[in-house]
Amino acid sequence: MTIDLSAYGWSDALPGGDGLLGRIVKVDRGECDVVTANGRVRVLSDSQRAQDQMAPVTGDWVLLHDEPELGLLISSVLPRSNSVSRRDPSEQVVEQVLVANVDVVLIVHGLDRPLPPGRLERFLVVGWDSGAEVAVVLTKADKKGAPVDDVTATVGAVAPDVPVLVVGLAGRAQEGLEHVAAMVGPGRTVVLLGESGSGKSTLVNALLGEEHLETGEVRSVDSKGRHTTVSRELVRLANGGLLVDTPGIRSVGIWDSEEALERVFGDLEALSATCRYSDCVHGPEPDCAVSAAVANGQVDRRRVDRYVALNVELEEQRQREKERERRGHGEKRGRRR
Ligand SMILES: Nc1nc2c(ncn2[C@@H]2O[C@H](COP(=O)(O)OP(=O)(O)OP(=O)(O)O)[C@@H](O)[C@H]2O)c(=O)[nH]1
Ligand SMILES: [Mg+2]
Ligand SMILES: [Zn+2]
C-alpha cells in the first residue's frame, strides 16, 4: 500500500529529513498512530530523542527510524507551522500543545447550555494565538427552544468578525452541515475545540458520513458532557479535508499571548493606553479612559471586568514563570516562539 502524504497535508515546501516521513493522526497511552507512505503504523511516542526537542502531538510531521529491538521510533518532530496550545491545567506555568499544523480552529458550542462570554473569549485567545483561522460552530440548533439568536448575538458582541455556523444534527436531518463542510477543504487541517458534550465527535461523524467516533449522552440536569472522547484524533474526509476531534476542554487556561489578546480586547487596550496611569486597573483611578467609556455606555462593564481579570491571571503566570526560571526549570519547556 502506498499513501500519498499530500492527502494528509504534506507539501514539498516543508522541510524534510532522513527517515520515514509520517503525520501523527492519534496519540494515546504513550503511543502514536502515524500515517506514512507505507501505511499506518503504531509507534512509541515518548522516544527519548523526540522528547529532547518536543513531545509529539496529533498533527505533527515526524521522521521515523527502525530500531532493531524496539521497532519504529520517532526520531524527530519536524518544525511546526503553528500549534494550538493552552496552559497545562495541572502545572500552571507550562504550555500544553494540543494539536500541531492547523489551518482552522472551530470552537464548538452546544445550544443546550448557556455560552458565558468569558469562556468564548478564552477559546478565541487560544484559537487566534495559533495563527489559524477561527470560526464558531453552534450545534444542537434542532433542539426545541435553542437560543440561536441570543447566542449568535453573544458571539457577535465578543468577536464581530468571527464567522458563526449553525448546525442541527438530529437524526437524518443535517441542517447547516454544508457550511461546516465548506470550511474543511482538501488538505486543510481543521481542529474542533469545545466543552465536553458540545457535539464535536457528532459533528465529525456527520461530516465523515459514518459513526467512526464514539459519542456520549449529556447529563440531562445540566447538559454537562461525560468526557467521551479521550484522545485527539485526525480523520480524513472523502473530500480530502482533515479533521481533528479533541477531548472536551474543562478549563481554558490561556497562555500569554499579546497578539491574540489584542484581537479580543483591542478596543480596551487602546483605551487603557490613554488612562492617566499606565498601571490603571480601570477602577476608581482618576482620568481612567476605560471607566469613562463605561460611563457613557460605549463599553460593557462586565467585559472590562473580564479583561482586567485575564490580565491579572496573565501577570501572575508571568511571575510564576520567572520564579520557575530562577529555580532553573523553564529552559526546555518555555514558549516556542
Ligand atoms: N439534537 C442534537 N443533539 C446533538 C447534536 N450534536 C450533538 N448532539 C448530542 O450531544 C451529545 C454529545 O455529543 P458528542 O459528540 O459526544 O460531544 P463531544 O463534544 O464529542 O463530547 P466529549 O467527547 O465528551 O468532549 C450526544 O448525545 C449527541 O447525540 C445536534 O446537533 N443535535
Ligand atoms: Mg467527543
Ligand atoms: Zn483606566
For 336, the 3-state DSSP assignment is: coil
Atom nearest to 230 CA in ligand 1: 23
Query: According to the model, what pLDDT value does residue 330 have?
Result: 52
Residue nearest (by alpha carbon) to ligand 1 atom 27: 217
Query: According to the model, what pLDDT value does residue 255 have?
Result: 74
Buried b (16+ CB within 10 A) or exposed e, 216-251: eebeeeebebeebbeebbbbbbeeebbbbbbbbbee
pLDDT digits (tens, 9 = 90+) for 59-75: 999 999 888 888 888 88
Query: What's the length of the chain?
Result: 337
How many CA atoms within 13 Å lie on the side-chain side of 220? 0
Centre of ligand 2 to C-alpha 216, Å, is: 7
Query: According to the model, what pLDDT value does residue 221 have?
Result: 81
In order of their start, the domains of the chain are 5-77 (2.40.50.140), 83-245 (3.40.50.300), 258-326 (1.10.40.50)
Block means of pLDDT (10 residues each) for the chain, 337 residues, are 89 78 89 93 68 79 88 88 86 82 98 94 92 97 96 94 95 89 94 96 95 90 87 94 94 78 91 94 94 95 92 85 78 44
Question: Which parts of the chain are beta strand (E)?
Answer: 20-28, 31-36, 39-44, 61-67, 71-77, 83-87, 95-100, 104-110, 133-139, 164-166, 189-193, 232-236, 242-245
Centre of ligand 2 to C-alpha 59, Å, is: 18
Residue nearest (by alpha carbon) to ligand 1 atom 14: 199
Pairing of strands 242-245, 189-193: parallel
pLDDT digits (tens, 9 = 90+) for 164-173: 999 999 877 7
Residue nearest (by alpha carbon) to ligand 1 atom 30: 140
Query: According to the model, what pLDDT value does residue 329 have?
Result: 63
Query: According to the model, what pLDDT value does residue 183 have?
Result: 93
Q: Which ligand does the CA of 197 lie closest to?
A: 1
The verdict on the CB of residue 201 being under 6 Å from ligand 1 is yes
